[in-house]
Amino acid sequence: MRQVWWKILTVVLLLNTFIAGFLITVPNVGNLEHTIRNSFFHIPMWITQFVMVSVSLIYSIRYLRKPDIKNDIYAYEYAKSGIVFGSLGLATGMIWANYTWGASWSNDPKQLGVAIALLIYLAYFVLRNSMPDLDKRARVSAVYNIFAYFIYIPMIVVLPRMVESLHPGGKGVEGNPGFNGDDLNVAMKWVIRPAYIGWVLLGVWITTLRLRVQLLAEKKSNSHFAS
């Protein structure tokens, strides 16, 4: 394993998240009771998705500046991981909502925005896989990926804050959904911030594994052409 220290950091941070996340005393907010501990697992999914698709955006821009097929593979794999974490965030959110908002789907602006954003990203995968020509595929999907990102951000970050929402951080509610100052006590903040880093690092770890396999396959198909 190359560069092992950040993988150890991932393990430590996530074990800390699980253990401390279950053991610390939490404030009683509304009807949340113990489910406020979901903050250590549900919110980091979205943070991780946000980081993954942002990295994907960077690689798509890099591809357009310098058409190296590696940039395309990086953009694709990071977007894919982003969607995996986004789907997990949606699923965990629905479980949580079922027991606190009364229904797993209540057309909350954030739920709707996320559903649309996920579909836009799924279209990216369909589009990318529909083209056999490698260079064309990379260029078109890079352009689409940039477009998808700038639809995704308003959908998930901007719009839900401009309307009334069941989520914290909606219209008329103070604070940020991730760092809601009033609802989280000091102990929770000390768990949730390392949790963000741990989950993001886990996302990067999984993505780099997939990337390394993809690059190996790429190398192999190239050596086929050469021989």
* Residue 22 binds to other proteins (criterion: CB under 8 A): yes
Q: Is 28 helix (H, G, I), strand (E, B) or coil?
A: coil
Q: Which is nearer to other proteins, 4 or 126 (CB)?
A: 4
CA dihedral 130, 135, 139, 141 (to 10 degrees): 30
Among 163, 219, 221, 222, binds other proteins (CB under 8 A): 219
Q: Which is nearer to other proteins, 7 or 70 (CB)?
A: 7
* Residue 134 binds to other proteins (criterion: CB under 8 A): no
Give least dist CB 43 to other proteins, A: 17
* Residue 224 binds to other proteins (criterion: CB under 8 A): no
Q: What is the DSSP string of 93-136?
A: HHHHHHHHTSSS----HHHHHHHHHHHHHHHHHHHHHT---HHH
* Rounded Cα distance, 175 and 172, in Å: 10
* Residue 191 binds to other proteins (criterion: CB under 8 A): no
How open is the CA angle 146-147-149, to the nearest 5 degrees?
65
Among 30, 66, 220, 227, binds other proteins (CB under 8 A): 220
Binding part of the chain for other proteins, among 95-103, 127-135, 177-185, 207-215 by CB under 8 A, reads 207-215
Residues 28-47 that bind other proteins (CB under 8 A): 34
* Residue 136 binds to other proteins (criterion: CB under 8 A): no
* Rounded Cα distance, 89 and 92, in Å: 5
Question: Which among 164, 183, 163, 165 has a CA at the least distance from the CA of 175?
Answer: 183
Among 65, 123, 209, 221, binds other proteins (CB under 8 A): 209
* Residue 226 binds to other proteins (criterion: CB under 8 A): no
* Residue 91 binds to other proteins (criterion: CB under 8 A): no
* Residue 19 binds to other proteins (criterion: CB under 8 A): yes
* Residue 205 binds to other proteins (criterion: CB under 8 A): yes
* Rounded Cα distance, 112 and 73, in Å: 29
